[in-house]
Amino acid sequence: MRIIAGKYRGRTLAAFQGEAIRPTPDRVKESLFQILAPRIRGARVLDLFCGSGALGAECLSRGAAEVCFNDVSKESLSVLGKNLKALGETCKVTCRDFRACLLSAEGKFDLVFSDPPYREDYLGEICSLLASRGLMAEGGLLLHESEREETVPAGWTFYDVRRYGRTKIYFLQRCEA
């Protein structure tokens, strides 16, 4: 895994060993960040199921103002720690279930990355918590990676949907009241 663009362009990131972890492939990341490019500079970002932190690190490289990382796995956070140290970045990192993370989060996010284990069906619950806690900035996007066909949760709209083989990335925005 590598950082695609920005001040850390070309840097290799520490990754997981074995087949149990499913990192976002570079080609998917590259396409995703081409779409997000105008939104990243100065953005406040939450990487909710961060794994190695590759998505959040890409945001840091491209000028995000702040990236908050969360994962329930201590192994993931160990790999994230290596990556942040290699980049010389200090960020807020929490080791919580996504629910606890969203219940304790403060402020508003411009971008929220949600890449849970594919077998889990968390989209509705994530959207509900983001909405009820007022965690999305005006015009903010939730990017949810999944293999399943997702239905749009109440109060949200699909801004875009991209397919990369079996992987789908849903771009969601809060509906305007």
71-84 tens-digit pLDDT: 999 999 999 999 99
Distances (CA, A) of 73 to 8, 18, 79, 123, 129: 25, 15, 10, 19, 21
Residues 127/172, Cβ–Cβ less than 8 Å: yes
pLDDT for the residue 139: 95
**pTM for the predicted model, two decimal places:** 0.94
Strand order in the sheet with 167-174: 92-94, 66-70, 44-47, 109-114, 136-146, 167-174, 156-164
User: In the chain, which residues have pLDDT < 50?
Assistant: 18-20
- pLDDT value at residue 27: 78
- The tokens for 69 are 């990382």
Residue 30 has a pLDDT of 87
pLDDT on residue 22 = 58
Crossing angle for the helix pair 26-40 and 54-61, to the nearest 10 degrees:
40
- Residue 8 half-sphere exposure toward CB, CA atoms < 13 A: 24
Please give the class, per CATH, of domain 28-174: alpha beta
Give me the residue label for tokens 């009820």: 132
